[in-house]
Amino acid sequence: MYRIDPMTQEDVPEVSRVERRCFSNPWPVSAYRRELQAPDQNHYVVLREEQALGDPPDPAENGAAPHDRTNGDGAPAGRPVPRRTLLPLGFGRRGEGNGSAAARLGRPPVLGFAGMWILYDEAHVTTIGVEPSHRGRGLGELLLVAMFDEAMRRGATWLTLEVRVSNEPAQALYRKYGFHVQGTRKRYYSDNHEDAHVMWSRSLQDPAYREELAALRTALSARLEQRAMSHEV
């Protein structure tokens, strides 16, 4: 079981540690801190494993406290991540003061993160990263679906991203979700000057495409549920 929460300033050090294990050209901490100051223009989330029954409760839930890189408070106090996304997910509601060190004691570690910029009718995925030891479990796909959900919630028409030309697994995932290569940015990545493919989704306003995304969401939910059940046995 997993949960997705809006990324906060207090999450940044942990996100940065995970990112350094994911990418050879990680963002500086200051970049995330700057991004989180403009939640109307972007959206950043973190993914954690949901606490099992019997674990210490998350104070925020009790009201005690209010991909390769595509080279990207995450939400106003009290704003939840949309609940119309995947199951089996839990969704955190950040209340005032929830970012304090005391309120965050006992929270599961960050396993992944994602973010995007939103400008007019375009949502641009800036980063998706998953802890290397947890890859192959559908968590990158889960974060991508979270970006789709938020893009649609905000009324965007397109989802775009960049991906290394050598990263075929990521490209396969993006193609699965309706992305197509629309161009190439030469020497885009600063670590090795590798080119990047620019990929665009189909129109998020297309009812047929929305139905396809819903079917993919349902299939991923079933996959995660099956995995969770197999680990409980």
Q: What proportion of the chain, given as a percentage, has pLDDT over 70? A: 75
Q: Whole-model pTM above 0.85?
A: no
CATH number at residue 154: 3.40.630.30
Is 162 among the catalytic positions? Answer: yes
Three-state DSSP at 97 gives coil
Distance CA 43, CA 38 (A): 9
On the question of pLDDT at 41 being above 90, the answer is yes
User: What Rg do the C-alpha atoms of the chain give, in angstroms?
Assistant: 17
Predicted confidence (pLDDT) per residue in 146-174, tens digit = 999 999 999 999 999 999 999 999 999 99
Please tell me which residue in 32, 174, 177, 189 is annotated as part of the active site. Answer: 174
Residue 60 structural domain: 2-232
Please tell me which residue in 35, 162, 177, 189 is annotated as part of the active site. Answer: 162
Is 44 among the catalytic positions? Answer: no
Task: Say how many domains are in the chain.
Answer: 1
